[in-house]
């Protein structure tokens, strides 16, 4: 039996990079997958790409930093499929600058999407999980939440905040059949990272004990574990998937 057979999963930021790899992995493992993202053109293109692989994935154009939009979209998913079992909070952005140069707008934009957006999704979706007495919520943090990163005050604050929120909600929801965990990716070879200068990539790679950058599928595998019944006794954990960077 596939690991996510008969499960309904929502994946935010699910049309590219880690989110897309996770959507594909979950669909392969039997889940009904709905991806949320702001870019409708890219979302529809991703659905077509999945279809070419023999997979059916739904797409909804949702801005996770808009609570009303999230609430409406969650209701639509629940009405269509009768439940929501899994939420992967993966939507996130960077808008880097040193403290001296960072504007209030830069700070707020990242907070709104990375941190408030995750809260909004959990707030809107958890009632449907509570109705069924079952749920798997996984938040995407980052290794920079564990050791900081120059020029990323806003981003690091959101990723550290997600770890704290994960622990708190694990205590609140765990006894009700809903586990809440986080994954902290290290340097992952997404399209954005691949565009960096070779010397920068070499420097990043040199910091990783296993000697390579991570692949989106490495994170998708971690999400799959935490979203499955294999991890039914894992709650409030932050799983670092970083090749050993934080040792």
User: Which residues are catalytic, by number?
Assistant: 155
Rg of the chain over all Cα atoms, to the nearest angstrom: 17
Question: What tokens were used for 35?
Answer: 């991806």
Pairwise CA distance, residues 2 & 163, whole Å: 29
- DSSP code of residue 214: B
- DSSP code of residue 50: H
How many other CB atoms sit within 10 Å of the CB of residue 56? Answer: 10
DSSP code per residue over 182-193: EEEE-SB--HHH
How many other CB atoms sit within 10 Å of the CB of residue 153? Answer: 18
- DSSP code of residue 236: S
């Amino acid at each position: 039996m596939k690991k996510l057979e008969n499960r309904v999963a929502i994946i935010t930021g699910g049309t590219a990079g880690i989110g897309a790899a996770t959507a594909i992995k979950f669909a392969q493992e039997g889940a009904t997958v709905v991806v949320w993202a702001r870019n409708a053109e890219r979302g529809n293109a991703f659905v077509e790409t999945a279809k070419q692989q023999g997979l059916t994935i739904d797409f909804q154009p949702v801005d996770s930093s808009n609570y009303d939009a999230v609430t409406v979209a969650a209701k639509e998913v629940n009405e269509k499929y009768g439940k929501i079992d899994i939420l992967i909070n993966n939507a996130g952005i960077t808008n880097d600058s040193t403290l001296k140069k960072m504007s209030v707008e830069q700070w707020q934009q990242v907070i709104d999407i990375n941190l408030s957006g995750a809260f909004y999704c959990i707030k809107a979706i958890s009632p449907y999980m509570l109705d069924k007495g079952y749920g798997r919520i996984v938040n995407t943090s980052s290794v920079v939440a564990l050791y900081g990163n120059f020029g990323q005050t806003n981003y690091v604050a959101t990723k550290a905040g997600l770890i704290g929120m994960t622990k708190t909600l694990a205590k609140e929801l765990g006894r009700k059949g809903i586990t809440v965990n986080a994954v902290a990716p290290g340097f992952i070879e997404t399209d954005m990272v691949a565009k960096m200068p070779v010397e920068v990539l070499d420097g990043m790679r040199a910091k990783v004990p296993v000697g390579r950058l991570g692949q989106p599928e490495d994170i998708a595998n971690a999400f799959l574990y935490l979203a499955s019944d294999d991890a039914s006794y894992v709650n409030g954990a932050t799983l670092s998937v970083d090749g050993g960077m934080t040792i």
